[in-house]
Amino acid sequence: MIPSFKKFNSRFNFAFIDENTKREIRRKLLKAICLPGYQVPYSSPEMPIARGWGTGGLHVTLSVIGKDDVFKIIDQGSDASVNACNLRDFVHRVTHCRVTFDTHAATLIQTRHRIPEEQLNDGQILVFQVPQPEPLRAVERYETKTREMHGEADYARMWVSLYEAFVRYGDIMQGAGYPVMVNGRYIMSPSPIPRWDVPNLHQSDCLYLFGAGREKRLYAIPPHTDVVPLEFDDVKFRIEQFPGIRCSLSGTGGAFMDELYNDLGHFRHVINDSDFLDKLVEHKTRPQQWSNKYLQQVLDEMNANPDLES
Amino acid sequence: MTRETSYDEIFDAQAHFRLIMDSMARPGKLNVLNGVSVQPPGSLNRASALIGLALLNADVSFFAAQNADAIGTYFTANTASRPAPAAEADFLFLQGLDHPQGLEQAKSGTLTYPDTSAFIVIDVAHLSLTRDQITGPMLQLQLSGPGVDGQQTVFVAGLNDALLTTLREKNVEYPLGVDSILTDQNDRILCIPRSNRFVVGGL
């Protein structure tokens, strides 16, 4: 039994980061919320893990977390991968907060590269670990220039690059981290989440916070904010399609799938979100998923062909 | 000079920050900052003092429109923050019935760094989501924008119409602008980030 966290029984501060730096990060988070999609520079203090391994998400988590929070962390949809386990242990050790795998029970969720399959509600905060916060970096190398482009909402080169991808390859090739327009003003990188998750950023109930530790940037999407994936009138944004594919463990579809390979090179599909899969397999219930038109299309297609084998 | 002894700079600051963040992410949602009996100088709402204690430190400066000496000493003693003129301060503590002069001068950031703008903390008499809880003259605010599902109506007593007009003028060139937090005498807070638009009706 671990005693509850008291001020003076530990050799480090509650939630590891010192109070001065927390205040700085908190002020920047408020500014980020006031400017949806805008990247706020921040101090990105030293952490016991290297920058680029989730420090940005950790800074945000540790600056907002309180004693009553229930913490969940996922890495590529899984509660059990190395990055998630180690960061969960760390956050638990420095805050003594309750931790959970249950998406619905969590009040604060840190994530790497996925949004949970289960819909989040207005009492929850989702914190993203972001490797590259600048969506324009592929078309402009210099930070001073991209800042100007954002300031002037000069996104012509971004549109040209999408157009060129279409001309060369017949489609917009961006898979993970599909660029989005937030609140009609800033183009933002949603961190490398699959296209499957991108529509869930639009008009959500929960608050999204993004931390890029190595690049020293914070940004946010408040609830009920317009988030539109970049698309053309005649070339539309699409999510990943899994036509006729069923999860080999739960026998169902309509969720983002992993391909698992065996030694012979054969592969099978498994639902990527581990908590969603657990609930399907163990509790025989399908948790409430997000509602967006792209997912609805997939579910309609699945329900029209219920007999397909995995 | 009052040194706050009952304020816990770790856990009270965290709890209050979460409430401020919740209100900022959901404009029109009133949250109550309570649980601590701080003794701010006169002419500063307790919730405004708690906002200062939660967010100020030596890295930022503040401006107080009224009773500047007492408020200046209070925040300097408790947060190590420093007073500054309105045009340079990161936090402005204003009174709802004041002349909007301080607000006119507040920093609104630059196009490349719009986050270098000021936070405005405004003391009003009463905030409410329903009209019948306020007696006397009041303003009706209709908020819309990011964080608001459709529209949200809030009733405010003890707020100068001119202050809101100035606030709207400050925020007309989004993303430039200021982000405001209104506090009332019952420790409630209401946030109006610059991303929101509001319509005012007098009652």
Q: Is residue B176 included in any domain, yes or no?
A: yes
Minimum Cα–Cα distance from B151: chain A residue: A224
Amino acid at A266: H
Q: To 10 degrees, the CA torsion angle through A9, A11, A17, A23? A: 50
**Between A36, A66, A148, which is nearest B195 by CB?**
A36
Whether residue B59 is predicted with pLDDT greater than 80 in this model: the reply is yes
CB crowding B78-115: b at 16 or more within 10 Å, else e: bbebebbebeebbbbbbbbebebebbeebbbbeeeebb
| Domain presence at residue B71 | yes
B1/A contact by beta carbon, under 8 A: no
Angstrom distance (rounded) from CA B40 to CA B19? 20
Helix axes of A55-64 and B11-25: crossing angle, nearest 10 degrees:
100
Q: What is the CATH number of the domain that holds B87?
A: 3.40.50.11310
The verdict on residue A36 lying in a domain is yes
Check whether residue A283 and residue A255 sit in a common domain: yes
Nearest CA in chain B to A28: B115
Q: Which of A208, A229, A250 delimits the end of a domain? A: A229
Query: Would residue A5 count as lying in a domain?
Result: no
Do A7 and B10 count as a contact with CB atoms less than 8 A apart? yes
A-B CB pairs within 8 A amount to 114
A255 to A101, A166, A203: CA distances (angstroms):
18, 27, 20
Give the range of the structural domain holding residue B53, as residue numbers without chain letter.
11-125+160-195
pLDDT at B135: 82
Please indicate, yes or no, whether residues A122 and A248 belong to a single structural domain of this protein: no
**Nearest residue, CB atoms, A19 vs list B10, B145, B149:** B10
Average pLDDT over residues B56-85: 96
Answer yes or no: is A144 within a domain.
Answer: no
Q: Does A41 touch chain B (CB under 8 A)?
A: yes
Enumerate the residues of chain B whose CB falls inside 8 A of the CB of residue A220. Answer: 25
Whether B5 is in a domain gets the answer no
CATH number at residue A52: 3.40.50.11310
Question: Does residue B153 form part of some domain?
Answer: no
Overall domain count for chain A: 2
Asked whether residue A14 is domain-assigned, the answer is no
Q: Which helix (H) or strand (E) holds B136?
A: none
Q: A176, A207, A229: which is the final residue of a domain? A: A229
CA A177 to chain centroid: 10
Residue A255 shares a structural domain with residue A295: yes
Q: Is A20 on the interface with B (CB under 8 A)?
A: yes
pLDDT at A96: 93
pLDDT at A58: 97
The residue range of the domain holding A259 is 241-310
On whether both A278 and A209 belong to a single domain, the answer is no
- Collect the ranges in chain A with pLDDT lower than 50: 1, 309-310
| A210 close to A186: Cβ distance less than 8 angstroms | no
Domain-embedded: residue A67: yes
* A118 and A208 within one domain: yes
Neighbours of A182 (CB within 10 A): 25
Q: What is the pLDDT of residue A8?
A: 59
Chain A residues closer than 8 Å to B22 by CB: 207
Query: Rounded distance, CA B176 to CA B166, Å?
Result: 14
The reply to whether A103 and A225 lie within a common domain is: yes
Supply the mean pLDDT for chain B.
94
**Residue B88 covered by a domain:** yes
Residues A209 and A255 in one domain: no
Pair A105, A203 in one domain: yes
Chain B residues lying within 8 Å of A186, measured CB to CB: 175
Could you tell me if A290 and A213 lie in one domain? no
- Mutate one of A14, A16, A19, A35 to test the B interface: name it (highest B CB count within 10 A): A35
pLDDT value, residue A310 = 42
CA distance B42 to chain A (A): 25
- Of B182, B195, B190, give the one whose Cα is nearest residue B23: B190
Parallel, antiparallel or unpaired: strands B139-144 and B152-157? antiparallel
> Is there a domain that residue A182 lies in?
no
Are B25 and A28 a contacting pair at CB < 8 A?
A: no
Q: Are residues A257 and A298 in the same domain?
A: yes
Pair (A41, A121) in one structural domain: yes
Burial (CB count <10 Å: 0-12, 13-18, 19+), residue B185: middle
Identify whether B202 is part of a domain. Answer: no
**pLDDT in the model for residue A74:** 97
Summarize pLDDT for B116-165 with one digit per residue, the tens.
Answer: 999 999 999 999 999 888 888 899 999 999 999 999 999 999 999 999 99
Residues A33 and A88 in one domain: yes
CA angle A130, A133, A135 (to 5 degrees): 135
pLDDT in tens, A267-301: 999 999 999 999 999 988 999 999 999 999 999 98
Count of domains observed in chain B: 1
- CB–CB contact A30 B21 (8 Å): yes
Residue B203 lies in a domain: no
Cα B48 from Cα A191, distance rounded (Å) = 36
